[in-house]
Amino acid sequence: MTPAIPAPPPDRLPDGFAVRLDPRTRRRDGGTALLGGSPLRLLRLLPRARDLLRGDRIVVGDAATAALAARLLDAGLAHPDLPGDGAVDLTVVVPVKDRPAEVDRLLAALRADPATAAAPVVVVDDGSADAAGLASVAARHGARVLRHEASRGPAAARNAGLDSAATDLVAFLDSDCVPRPGWAAVLARHAADPRLALVAPRITALRPGNARPSPAPGGWVDRYEAAVSALDMGPHPAPVAAGTAVSYVPSAALLARRAALGPGFDETMRVAEDVDLVWRLAAAGWRVRYEPAAEVAHEHPSATGEWLRRRAFYGTGAALLAARHGAAVAPVVVSPWSALAWGLALTGRRPAVAAAGAALAVATGRLARRLARPGERPPLGLAAALVLRGSAAAGRTLARSATRHHWPLALAAAVVSRRARRTVLAAAAVDAVLAWWPHRREVGPLRFAAARRLEDLAYGTGLWAGALRARDPRALLPATPPPLGPARRPAAR
C-alpha cells in the first residue's frame, strides 16, 4: 500500500515572508496581467493585486498579500526571496551500502560547514559487507549508524533515518554527494512557508579529488554529465510538480519537513521513489521547491557501461510511476493542434504544409478568444506568438520522443520508409545541436551528440522493458497539456 501523506496546514504564508517575480515573468496590458510560469499562463490581476504588485517584490503583511504571494509562488511567476545564513536545526540522513571512502568525504564536508557542523547525522547502513569499517568512519565524524543486516533499498534506508530524526527538518544526502558550504542555510529558509514539504538544491558535477564542481572533468562521459546530468534541474528556481518545467527533484540531495512526509518513501519502489514522493506531496497540497542557489556536488558515473546501465535502470521506473500516477508520467505532452500541424508539415507535401499553417491559424484564433478581456478585441498578436512558441516546443518534444522514448518505433519506421529514415536522422541531429548549443564551451559537438544518443537509447530501452514487464503501456502514451486560458485571477481583496 502506498504510504499516506498527511494533510498540509492552512495555506497562509507568515508575515515577513517575501516573494520576488521571476525575471522571465512579463507584465502585459499595462500591468494588468502577468505572463510566465510553467505551464505558461496569463494571469489577470484584480485592481487590489495590481496595487500590491507595483514593484517586483511582495512582503506578506496581511491576508491579501499572503494570498497574492501564494498564488504567484504556485504559478511559478515568483519565488521566495528570504535571507538565510547561520546554523540550521536539522538532521542529516545518509543512506548507503558500502562506500566508506565516499561517506568519509561527505561527513567531512558536513562538519566543515558552520550550518551543519553540529547537526546530528544518521548513517543508515543498508547491508554493507564491511559494517565495521563504515561504523568506524561514521564514529570518527560523530555520526550515528543504523544498520539493516540485509539490503532493503534506498527508500527503506531513508525512511529508517527519517523515523529516527528528532528535528523538524531532515536532509537526505547520498554518499556520492559533497554539499557546497551554505547549502543547508539556503534551503532552510524555504521552511518559513508552512506548506513547504521538500526543497532540493542544484546538483552539479564533482571534480575527482576535489569538493568543487567542475565544468568539464576529464573523461568523455564526465564532460557530458557535467553539462547535462539528469540530476541537474538547471539554473532557475521553480515550484516542483508533474507537468511543469521541473517535474521532480532527485533524492540524492533533499531537505524535507519531517511532518509532511508521513511514513516517507514507498519502500516497494527500488527506482523512481523520489518522483513518486514528490508527486504524492504535490497532490496532497504540499509545496515542493527547487532552489539552485544551494548547490551539492555529485560524483557522476564515469565508466560508460555503468552510466548506461544506470540510465536504463532509471527508464524502468516510468512503468511504476504510471501505475500510481497515470498520465503524469506521459513521455510526450503536446497539444492536438501542434501535433496535427507537425504531422501535416512532416509529409513534405505543399497542400499538407498549407493545411498545417491553417491549423495553427485556427489555434491562434481560438486562443485569442480565450485570452480576450470583456469588451476588447482578441489579442491576436499575443496568441500567435504563444502558438508559435508552443509549436516550436512541441517540435522539440516530438524529436526527443523519436530518439529517446519511442526510438524502437522510430527505428522500425526508418527501416521500411526512406522518408521516415530522413526524418528520424534530421530529428536526431537537430535535437543534439539544440541541446548542445547552451553547453558549447563545456563539451564538443560530436562528443555531446554521441553521448546524447547513447543515453537516449539506454533510457528508452529501460522504459520499454519496464512497460513490457508491467504489461502496462501507459508509460509510453502521450498526453495533452492544460489550456492556457481562460486567464485566472489571484485572490487579493
Bridge partners (DSSP) of residue 288 are 198
What would the mean pLDDT of 334-343 be, rounded to a whole number?
92
Longest alpha-carbon distance in the chain: 76
Tracing cell 510511476 back to the chain, one arrives at 321
CA separation for the pair 249, 258 (Å, rounded): 17
CA separation for the pair 229, 297 (Å, rounded): 12
Q: At what angle do helices 407-416 and 418-436 cross, to 10 degrees?
A: 140
The answer to whether residues 148 and 250 touch, using CB atoms and an 8 Å cutoff, is no
The answer to whether residues 254 and 170 touch, using CB atoms and an 8 Å cutoff, is no
pLDDT tens-digit readout, 358-396: 999 999 999 999 888 888 888 999 999 999 999 999 999
pLDDT tens-digit readout, 19-48: 999 999 999 888 889 999 988 888 999 999
Residue 208 confidence (pLDDT): 59
Task: Look at residue 130 and tell me whether its pLDDT is greater than 80.
Answer: yes
What phi and psi, each to the nearest 5 degrees, are found at residue 80?
-55, 140
pLDDT tens-digit readout, 71-116: 999 999 999 998 866 678 999 999 999 999 999 999 999 999 999 9
Cell numbers of 465, please?
522493458
Q: At what angle do helices 336-345 and 380-400 cross, to 10 degrees?
A: 70
Residues in the chain: 493
Helix (H, G, I), strand (E, B) or coil at 92: strand
* Residue from 73, 439, 120, 119 nearest 291 by CA: 73
User: Model pTM?
Assistant: 0.93
The total of other beta-carbon atoms located within 10 Å of residue 127's CB is 15
In angstroms, the first-to-last Cα distance of the chain is: 43
The total of other beta-carbon atoms located within 10 Å of residue 136's CB is 13
Residue 2 confidence (pLDDT): 79
Residue 87 confidence (pLDDT): 76
Q: Give the start-to-end residue ranges of the domains of the chain.
A: 18-80, 90-302, 336-476
CA separation for the pair 401, 466 (Å, rounded): 17
What would the mean pLDDT of 334-353 be, rounded to a whole number?
91
At 484, is the pLDDT very low, low, confident or very high (cuts 50, 70, 90)? low
CATH number for the domain running over 90-302: 3.90.550.10
The answer to whether residues 84 and 188 touch, using CB atoms and an 8 Å cutoff, is yes
pLDDT tens-digit readout, 142-161: 999 999 999 999 999 999 99
* Residue from 154, 129, 134, 153 nearest 144 by CA: 134
Q: Which amino acid is at 439?
A: H
Helix (H, G, I), strand (E, B) or coil at 156: helix
CA separation for the pair 81, 103 (Å, rounded): 33
- Average pLDDT of the chain is 92
At 204, is the pLDDT very low, low, confident or very high (cuts 50, 70, 90)? very high
Q: Which helix (H) or strand (E) holds 148?
A: strand 144-148
pLDDT tens-digit readout, 380-439: 999 999 999 999 999 999 999 999 999 999 999 999 999 999 999 999 999 999 999 999
What is residue 212's DSSP assignment? S
CA separation for the pair 474, 320 (Å, rounded): 10
DSSP string, 238-302: EE--TTSSS----TTEEEEEHHHHTT-S-TT-SSSHHHHHHHHHHHTT-EEEEEEEEEEEE----
CA separation for the pair 366, 380 (Å, rounded): 10
* Residue from 120, 265, 129 nearest 197 by CA: 265
CA separation for the pair 401, 409 (Å, rounded): 10
CA separation for the pair 152, 149 (Å, rounded): 9
DSSP string, 44-82: E--HHHHHHTSSSEEE--SHHHHHHHHHHHHHTSEEE--
CA separation for the pair 455, 461 (Å, rounded): 10
Cell numbers of 58, please?
511582495
Distance of CA 240 to the CA centre of its chain: 6
At 215, is the pLDDT very low, low, confident or very high (cuts 50, 70, 90)? very low
